[in-house]
Amino acid sequence: MKIIKILLLIGTLYSQATIDGIPKSFIYDTNNRLDKIVLPEVDIDQLLIEDSNVEPGTPFRYGNIFEVNYNLNNSGTWEILEDGSKLWRLEIKSEGAYSIGIEYDYFHIPDNSEFYVYDIDAENIFGAYSSHNNQSDYLFSTPLVKGDVIILEYYEPFNAEFEGQIYLSEVIHDYKDIMNFFENENNNQRICATNTHGGGQLCPEAEPYEMVVNATSWLDMGGFICSGSMVNNTSYDLSKYYMTAWHCTNGDNPSTFRFYFNYGAYSCSSDNGTAGSSLYGSQLLATSNGMDADWTLLKITQNIPDNVWDSWEVFFAGWNRSTENPVVSCAIHHPNGSPKRINFDDDMAYSASWNQGDPGTHWRVFWDNGGTQGGSSGCPLYDENFRLVGVLSGGPDLPCGDTGSYDLYGKFDRAWNDVKQWLDPGDTGAMFIDGTYDGSLIIEGCTDPNAENYDLDANIDDGSCFYGLADIYFGDVSLSNMSIISFNSAEIAQFEFTVTDNQNLISLTNASGGMAEDNDFIVTVSDEGLVIGTSISGNTIPIGESILTNIGYSFENSGTTEICITNQRFFDINGNEILVPGNSCSTIELDIELSNENLQKNLNFEIQNIYPNPFNPNVNFDLQIIDSDLVEINVYDLHGKKVYEIFSGYLNSGIHSFNWEAANFPTGIYILSSTSNNFVSNQKVLLMK
């Protein structure tokens, strides 16, 4: 049973470049003896005091580092297995740690050997690490393992080419639950940026930024964290270049850095998530050697198969080295080590300096939405074309949204002369390039062959596809009614538009007739002028030119006003959007005296006094009827499907009160529809649970 459990749990936290395998102690009969090392107690309170007083431009610390000297010869327990192979194990405990990480200053093992790290309950297992993980500098690191006990296990086959060498140099005690293993027991909160992922899917706010979201990763320097981004070069050769801030890497050995990709939240509203995929080891290519302008270019050195890299969907971001003030779009980062977050802006960045240093080294950004925290340092800043223009140094530690809150990003152009040999190896002189997933040039456009504007050359869909054309405009306009004409090249399954008037004289009252009514559409109007049409039966409005519907309206004052049709959205039977090229306007003269008769007719039959709206689970409303008549009152969903009958029968003139109890219905918008032989009245209500 134990082996079955392990097989199910291997790799639940990360994907990484390892070989398949199960720790041999789970398979072979062993003596179960383990050399156990207990590290000194960690003064958490003192560490937190130190963290609260760090200088600006200091990377976010999550771990206490124990410098150690444990190896296969001076620590752990060896035993000989029945086939002559050897097994070494060591247990390390650091009381109270949320997780434990290990760095190695010498790691070199022979072919067919295996190395694992796992927690005491064998729920989180990393490995098998093999000779494929040997580096030219012999340095190595393994990911954080949940809990305050970690077990290391090394298997060496009989007649191995040489004896393996594994030397532990640092044990990292995680005192902030940086991987959210325990649901943020020690989280500092105030993470005000927006989640990029939820349950493995992009959150709606992040969808337009998908490519650059996939470029950003969490950088673990061993007890300290920052953010950073993969960057493209003019050769589009997928060289693993990575940009972050100088203050994140200063004084550390990049060979032991670990890069976590695809660290996203469990849901779009969650603070917790899974760490995704990891790589270790890097080479320092170039750096600013100071806060002016605070940048570092690394190259990730771990080699992994192309299919593994592709499966992670890592994007290599484009860049812009122009000195002109960029219009900012977003920044993507890991504040406090949280799952990946995004900030938004639509303003121009300003040139600034860091802490009264050299002028013009940084971009100053005032966020429209979101903010940064420790762990965000080094994150990429993108312009309106999604090209990297800077990396984060920091900003004032103010609550999100407070006046004066801003961030300073070291300018990418300040790094250019030092990084161009890698990012422009062909010396093309390019001022900017776009990013890539697979080494191909990104061409945005409509990628659906079924769309009217299909672009054969496009390889990234930009959401511009449309599936037919429609034009709507005013037909006859009277003192109480206006006809809406449709000319469409595709069948219409759903539509919406807004009728506005620049003097705010008119109020829409109802919709009736036309091709919408002929094809069993329900058309609703709102006080704000929104008109929505949905099919009851699944019918569509056929191709051609005809009256779409008639819109009734009332007014309280005489005068001249311009009415316009705006915000048009039309959809075909497959839910594809039909392109509407522009707005239509008309000028009308309103006369109270002439319209009284028509206005009275409009008031003869009306759903009114809806309360509450939104509602849960009961909504109350009145139906005013002047002339006694047979009446039906039904509830429809936005797909035009009748979901409930409230009333059917004869009503005398007067005001009648009704109630809908919707406890068994899901959250959503519904349409209250009342019909008689001569009139229709529709109103929208919102059920919120």
Q: Which residues are catalytic?
A: 247, 294, 377
State how far the Cα of 154 lies from the Cα of 93, in Å rounded to an integer. Answer: 18
β-pair partners for 651: 629
Ramachandran angles phi, psi of 321, nearest 5°: -100, 15
State how far the Cα of 298 lies from the Cα of 321, in Å rounded to an integer. Answer: 18
State how far the Cα of 426 lies from the Cα of 423, in Å rounded to an integer. Answer: 9
Q: Which residues of 408-438 are buried (b: 16+ CB within 10 A; e: fewer)?
A: bbbbbbbbeeebbebbbeeeeebeebbbbbe
Strand locations in 617-663 (E):
618-625, 629-637, 642-651, 654-661
Ramachandran angles phi, psi of 420, nearest 5°: -65, -25
* 514 three-class SS: helix
Q: Which residues of 177-196 are buried (b: 16+ CB within 10 A; e: fewer)?
A: bbbbbeebeebeeebbbbbb
Closest of 58, 189, 63, 167 to residue 115, by C-alpha: 167
State how far the Cα of 132 lies from the Cα of 229, in Å rounded to an integer. Answer: 25
State how far the Cα of 421 lies from the Cα of 109, in Å rounded to an integer. Answer: 35
Q: Which two tokens stand for residue 362?
A: 């940084």
Q: Which residues of 628-659 are buried (b: 16+ CB within 10 A; e: fewer)?
A: ebebebbbbbeebeeebebeeeebeeeebeee
H-helix or E-strand spanning residue 597: helix 592-602
Query: Greatest CA separation found in the chain?
Result: 107
H-helix or E-strand spanning residue 50: helix 44-52
- Residue 372 has a CB neighbour count (10 Å cut-off) of 29
How distant, in Å, are the alpha carbons of 12, 200, 309, 541 from that of 16? Answer: 11, 17, 10, 53
Q: Which two tokens stand for residue 514?
A: 């036309």
Give long-range contacts, CB 8 A cutoff, 24+ apart: 419-425. Answer: 419/285, 419/286, 419/297, 422/233, 422/239, 422/241, 422/285, 422/286, 422/297, 422/299, 423/231, 423/232, 423/233, 423/234, 423/241, 423/297, 423/319, 424/233, 424/234, 425/233, 425/234, 425/235
State how far the Cα of 375 lies from the Cα of 369, in Å rounded to an integer. Answer: 18
Q: Which two tokens stand for residue 302?
A: 């771990």
Asked, as a colleague might, if the bond just before 23 is cis with ω within 30 of 0, I would say no
Query: Is the CB of residue 95 less than 8 Å from the CB of residue 37?
Result: no
